[in-house]
Structure 1
Amino acid sequence: MNDTALQALLLAIVLLPAVGSVAALLPAPPGLRGSSPEQAVLRHGVTVTGTVLALAVALAAGFDHDHPSRMQATTDVSWIAALDIRVHLGVDGISLPLLVLTALLTFLCALYTYFRMPQGPGPRAFVALLLLLETGMLGTFVALDLIVFFLAFEIVLIPMYFLVARWGGEHREAAANRFILYTLLGSAVMLLGLLLVGVRAGTFDMVALADQHGAGLSHGVQVIAVLAIGLGLAVKAPMWPLHSWLPDAHTAAPTVGSVLLAGVLLKMGTYGFVRIVLPVAPEGARTLAPYLAAFAVVGILYGSLACLSMVTGVGAADPTGATVDLKRLIAYSSVGHMGFVLLGVATLTPTGVNGALFANIAHGLITGLLFFLVGALKERYGSTDLNQIAAGAGAALYGKAPRLGGLLAFAAVASLGLPGLAGFWGEMLALFGAYQPAAGLSRPAYLVFMALAGVGTLLTAAYLLLVVRRVCMGEHPAPAERAAFADIQAHEYAAWSPLVVLTVVAGLWPAVLLSLSDPAVQNLLGGSR
Structure 2
Amino acid sequence: MSDWPLLSLVTFLPLLGAAIILVIRGDGEVVIRNARSVALWTSGVTFLLSLFLVAGFDPTQPGFQFVERAQWLPGLGIEYHMGIDGISLWFIPLSALLTVLVVVGSWYSVEHRVKEYMVAFLVMDSLMIGVFCALDMVLFYVFFEAILIPMYLIIGIWGGPRRIYASFKFFLYTLAGSVLFLIAVLAIYLETGTTDLAVLQSAEIPLSMQYWLWIAMFAAFAVKVPMWPFHTWLPDAHVEAPTGGSVLLAGVLLKLGGYGFLRFSVPMLPEASAYFAPFVFALSAIAVVYTSLVALVQQDMKKLIAYSSVAHMGLVTIGCFTPNALGIQGSVVQMLSHGVVSAALFMVVGVVYDRIHSREIARYGGLADRMPIYAVIFLFFSMASVGLPGTSGFVGEVMVIVGVFQVNSWVAAFAATGMILGAAYMLWLYRRVIFGTITRDDLKSIKDLRWNEMVAFAPLVFLTLWLGIYPVFFTRPMEPAVAHLIQQTQTVDTAAVADE
Q: Give me the whole-angstrom Cα distance separating, in 1, the residues matched to 2:220 and 2:286.
A: 19
1:49 aligns to 2:43 (yes or no): yes
Equivalent position SS for 1:383: coil
User: 22, 25, 30: which is aligned to 1:25?
Assistant: 22
Letter in 1 for 2:431: R
Q: Render the CA deviation track for 1:491-521: whole Å, top value 9, x for unaligned.
A: 1111110001100010000101110112111
Q: Give me the whole-angstrom Cα distance separating, in 1, the residues matched to 2:409 and 2:323.
A: 15
1:34 positional shift: 10
1:423 aligns to 2:393 (yes or no): yes
Q: Render the CA deviation track for 1:460-491: whole Å, top value 9, x for unaligned.
A: 1111111111111113789x988732111111
Equivalent position SS for 1:516: coil
Q: Give me the whole-angstrom Cα distance separating, in 2, the residues matched to 1:158 and 1:483.
A: 41
Of 289-298 and 76-85, deviating more is: 76-85
Question: Is the 2:107–2:452 contact (alpha carbons within 8 Å) kept by the matching residues of 1?
Answer: no
Q: Counterpart in 1 of 2:346? A: 371
1:528 positional shift: 6.8
Letter in 1 for 2:179: A
Equivalent residue runs for 1:66-81 within 5 Å: 66-67=60-61, 69-81=62-74
1:104 aligns to 2:79 (yes or no): no
User: 58, 80, 91: which is aligned to 1:87?
Assistant: 80
Q: Counterpart in 2 of 1:414? A: 384
Q: Counterpart in 2 of 1:173? A: 164
Q: Give me the whole-angstrom Cα distance separating, in 2, the residues matched to 1:527 and 1:149.
A: 22
Q: Render the CA deviation track for 1:414-462: whole Å, top value 9, x for unaligned.
A: 001111100011111111121113xxxxxxxx22111111122211111
1:452 aligns to 2:452 (yes or no): no
Q: Render the CA deviation track for 1:334-382: whole Å, top value 9, x for unaligned.
A: 0000000001012122111100000000000000000001000112332
Equivalent residue runs for 1:291-370 within 5 Å: 291-310=279-298, 324-370=299-345
User: 188, 191, 194: which is aligned to 1:203?
Assistant: 194
* Structure 1: gaps spanning 5 or more residues: 311-323, 390-394, 438-445
Equivalent position SS for 1:90: strand
Equivalent residue runs for 1:197-346 within 5 Å: 197-210=188-201, 212=202, 214-215=203-204, 217-310=205-298, 324-346=299-321
Q: Give me the whole-angstrom Cα distance separating, in 2, the residues matched to 1:154 and 1:97.
A: 21
1:399 aligns to 2:387 (yes or no): no
Give the TM-score of the pair, scaled to structure 2.
Answer: 0.95
Equivalent position SS for 2:89: helix
Question: Is the 1:401–1:482 contact (alpha carbons within 8 Å) kept by the matching residues of 2?
Answer: no
Question: Is the 1:355–1:426 contact (alpha carbons within 8 Å) kept by the matching residues of 2?
Answer: yes
> How many residues matched?
490
RMSD: 1.8
Letter in 2 for 1:493: M
Identity rate, percent:
36
Equivalent position SS for 1:170: coil
Q: Render the CA deviation track for 1:2-51: whole Å, top value 9, x for unaligned.
A: 3x23xx221110111122222221125x7xx8951111111111111111
Q: Give me the whole-angstrom Cα distance separating, in 2, the residues matched to 1:79 and 1:385.
A: 50
Question: Is the 1:42–1:113 contact (alpha carbons within 8 Å) kept by the matching residues of 2?
Answer: no
Equivalent position SS for 1:525: helix
Letter in 1 for 2:406: Q
Q: Counterpart in 2 of 1:141? A: 132
Equivalent residue runs for 1:466-485 within 5 Å: 466-475=428-437, 484-485=445-446
Equivalent position SS for 2:70: strand
Equivalent position SS for 1:239: coil
Letter in 2 for 1:155: A
1:464 aligns to 2:464 (yes or no): no
Q: Counterpart in 1 of 2:498? A: none
Q: Give me the whole-angstrom Cα distance separating, in 1, the residues matched to 2:442 and 2:232.
A: 39
Letter in 2 for 1:111: V
1:10 aligns to 2:7 (yes or no): yes
Q: Counterpart in 2 of 1:498? A: 459
Question: Is the 2:247–2:343 contact (alpha carbons within 8 Å) kept by the matching residues of 1?
Answer: yes
Letter in 2 for 1:108: L
Letter in 2 for 1:127: M
Letter in 1 for 2:419: T
Letter in 1 for 2:234: L
Question: Is the 2:341–2:381 contact (alpha carbons within 8 Å) kept by the matching residues of 1?
Answer: yes
Question: Is the 1:341–1:357 contact (alpha carbons within 8 Å) kept by the matching residues of 2?
Answer: yes
1:488 aligns to 2:431 (yes or no): no
1:159 aligns to 2:185 (yes or no): no
Q: Give me the whole-angstrom Cα distance separating, in 2, the residues matched to 1:231 and 1:220.
A: 18
Q: Render the CA deviation track for 1:208-229: whole Å, top value 9, x for unaligned.
A: 111x1x52x1111111111101
Q: Counterpart in 1 of 2:494? A: none
Question: Is the 1:88–1:143 contact (alpha carbons within 8 Å) kept by the matching residues of 2?
Answer: yes
Give the TM-score of the pair, scaled to structure 1.
Answer: 0.90
Question: Is the 1:412–1:465 contact (alpha carbons within 8 Å) kept by the matching residues of 2?
Answer: yes
Question: Is the 2:280–2:317 contact (alpha carbons within 8 Å) kept by the matching residues of 1?
Answer: yes
Question: Is the 1:43–1:114 contact (alpha carbons within 8 Å) kept by the matching residues of 2?
Answer: no
Q: Give me the whole-angstrom Cα distance separating, in 2, the residues matched to 1:179 and 1:370.
A: 21
Question: Is the 1:146–1:194 contact (alpha carbons within 8 Å) kept by the matching residues of 2?
Answer: yes
Equivalent position SS for 2:481: helix
Q: Render the CA deviation track for 1:186-212: whole Å, top value 9, x for unaligned.
A: 1001111122222212211111111x1
Q: Give me the whole-angstrom Cα distance separating, in 1, the residues matched to 2:30 and 2:21.
A: 14
Q: Give me the whole-angstrom Cα distance separating, in 1, the residues matched to 2:415 and 2:47.
A: 35
